[in-house]
Amino acid sequence: MQKLLTSVQMRKADEHAIANLPIASIDLMEKAARSFVQSFLRDEFDASKKIAVFCGNGNNGGDGLAIAHLLCNNGCENVKVYILNFSDKKSKDFLINLQRLDESRCRKTVVNSVAELKNVKADIIIDAILGSGLNKPLEGKYAELAGYINNLNKKVYAVDVPTGFPAEGKIRADYNGVKAYKTICFQRPKINFFFPESAMATETYEVVAIGLDENFIQKQETDFLLTEEADIHHILKPRKLFSHKGTYGHALIVSGNTNTMGAALLASKACLHTGAGLITACIPPSGLIALNTTLPEVMALPREEFTRIENPAKFQAIAIGPGLGISIENERLLERLILSNQPLVIDADALNMLAERPDLIERIPAKSIITPHMKEFDRLFGDHDSWWDRVITAKFQAEKLKIVIVLKNQFTFICLPDGKIYINSTGNPAMAQGGMGDVLTGVIVGFLAQKYSSEDAAILACYLHGKTGDELATERIVVNAALLAEQIAVEIKRLA
């Protein structure tokens, strides 16, 4: 798992490298510039393109100067540097690189105001104005400059972070910084790149290594962690010799209604392919034929019989919600399960019913996993006007209720009872189709049945669900939920 650091912590990592590795501050900047240029030239190999490099006065500007210098030395014929003389505070390494640039044949001009920028003719812009040193929203000349650059409508590459974009913390809805095509950032992605509002600032990003001490970074205290494939490999347990269906647990999936039986089938199918030993779908009688014909391995428990069944403790794992429908009977059923005090996976309509019963939210059994998307989350815990605030609420509630909250999106935030937030980066827009969440619930309950902890089940399920979608999306424009449910077994096998 990769630790994601704040700007202050990243600065410490820079300082640590300078103090402890045989590398001077200016050489670290040179290394960062070289890594940027390498990545940039992979994308933009036409040496005749006009490149305008905008440089501020801090270290981000220093990077820009070094980048311009390297581009000139690498055969780029039309590089022009705009040095923005907007501040008296110039960093030491900025000044060293300014002198180096002065001694080169790179074209440059010093600009004191945006009005002086009349004839910027560029195919590509490199934004090295402000980086992770941003300490307040843009205003005055800086805001004007960001607007000017955006209005040029050119391809913008941002150095480390687009000017005006906060690396962490709330992103304002009226973001007024640079809108980059791509950000090439150093050593670690910024925490805020995983928040949907970052789409206002950069279409995509790439992380390049600059030689900071990974051991030092991984030792820092942070609540934000990025799941990696190695973690999944480490958590997954292979199936054992002499094992039998009892070894892999019995999952109960309370789901489906007359018009939404598909959700029950998808969740059950996903659970089946995740490897639970036995699966029972608690469905309405109207769904029996569909279940028996499409998923013969799955047992049925007609819903009205539910109250007559044995203790829910018979099941190793229980999920409730996919396609369930909202009714008094279903609310009673949910209440019964919650009061049984057994960890649950709670999704979809079960979450919507919970939103109307704050008394039950307080009683969600510890170690349960709830899987809201943004709207379901806000119905449960109140409206939020930014994703940062929403994630902070999720973290708070996960700690308070001692549950796992899987807040679903392009990048899903998995908030654990210990306050840690695992960010899942697998998954893609080909998966944006109904039923995908039902499959995720089936995968989670499938892992729970196999005795993975709630934390591990949520982390594994999100990663494998997205990864399976990524593999399938290499060959198709859309990945439907049933296909993904079936393919998940292949991905688990590959990573186990």
Residues contributing to the site for ligand NAX (CB under 6 A): 14, 25, 28-29, 32, 56, 58-61, 63, 89, 91, 130-136, 138, 142, 159-161, 186, 210
Helix, strand, coil percentages (3-state) for the chain, rounded to 5, are 45, 15, 35
Smallest distance, ligand ADP to C-beta of residue 11, A = 32
Selected binder of ligand ADP within 16, 154, 373, 451 (CB under 6 A): 373
Task: Specify the stretch interacting with ligand ADP by CB under 6 A; choose among 81-89, 166-174, 392-400, 425-433.
Answer: 425-433
DSSP code, position 390: H
246 is in an annotated binding site: no
- C-alpha span between 400 and 421 (Å, rounded): 14
Beta strand pairing status for 50-55 and 250-254?
unpaired
- Is 480 among the residues that bind ligand ADP (CB under 6 A)? no
Please list, in sequence order, all residues whose beta carbon lies within 8 angstroms of the beta carbon of residue 424, skipping any fewer than 6 positions away.
227, 411, 412, 413, 414, 459, 462, 463, 466
Strands (E), 56-170: 78-84, 107-111, 124-128, 155-159
x/- binding map, residues 329-358, to ligand ADP, per CB under 6 A?
-------------------x----------
Backbone angles phi, psi at 467, to 5 degrees: -65, -40
160 is in an annotated binding site: yes
CB atoms under 10 Å from CB of 219, counted, come to: 10
Q: Which is nearer to ligand ADP, 86 or 463 (CB)?
A: 463
- C-alpha span between 468 and 168 (Å, rounded): 29
Q: Which is nearer to ligand ADP, 8 or 432 (CB)?
A: 432
Selected binder of ligand ADP within 64, 166, 427, 446 (CB under 6 A): 427
- Residue 105 binding target from ligand NAX, ligand ADP, none, CB below 5 to 8 Å by type: none
Dihedral angle over CA of 80, 86, 89, 90, nearest 10: 0
- Residue 159 binding target from ligand ADP, ligand NAX, none, CB below 5 to 8 Å by type: ligand NAX
Q: Which is nearer to ligand NAX, 28 or 68 (CB)?
A: 28
Kindly state the tokens that stand for 485: 């449910």
Smallest distance, ligand NAX to C-beta of residue 11, A = 6
Q: Which is nearer to ligand ADP, 56 or 262 (CB)?
A: 262
For residue 419, is it left (φ>0), alpha (ψ between -120 and 50) or beta? Answer: left
- C-alpha span between 307 and 332 (Å, rounded): 10
59 is in an annotated binding site: yes
- Is 429 among the residues that bind ligand ADP (CB under 6 A)? yes
Kindly state the tokens that stand for 254: 């309370």
Segment holding 225, helix H or strand E: strand 224-226
- C-alpha span between 420 and 410 (Å, rounded): 19
Task: Specify the stretch interacting with ligand ADP by CB under 6 A; choose among 47-55, 160-168, 402-410, 446-454.
Answer: 402-410
- C-alpha span between 285 and 305 (Å, rounded): 10
Selected binder of ligand ADP within 150, 386, 428, 480 (CB under 6 A): 428
- Is 425 among the residues that bind ligand ADP (CB under 6 A)? no
Kindly state the tokens that stand for 240: 């054992």
CB atoms under 10 Å from CB of 198, counted, come to: 24
Nearest-CB residue for ligand NAX: 133
- Is 410 among the residues that bind ligand ADP (CB under 6 A)? yes
- Residue 260 binding target from ligand ADP, ligand NAX, none, CB below 5 to 8 Å by type: none
- Is 164 among the residues that bind ligand ADP (CB under 6 A)? no
- Residue 438 binding target from ligand NAX, ligand ADP, none, CB below 5 to 8 Å by type: ligand ADP
With beta carbons less than 8 A apart as the criterion, state whether 252 and 301 touch: yes
- Is 442 among the residues that bind ligand ADP (CB under 6 A)? no
Task: Specify the stretch interacting with ligand ADP by CB under 6 A; choose among 56-64, 190-198, 251-259, 408-416.
Answer: 408-416
Binding-site positions: 59-63, 127, 131-137, 142, 160, 163, 263, 323, 373, 408-412, 437-438
Binding site for ligand ADP (CB under 6 A): 348, 373, 408-410, 412, 427-429, 431-432, 434-438, 440, 466
Binding-site positions for AMP: 408-412, 437
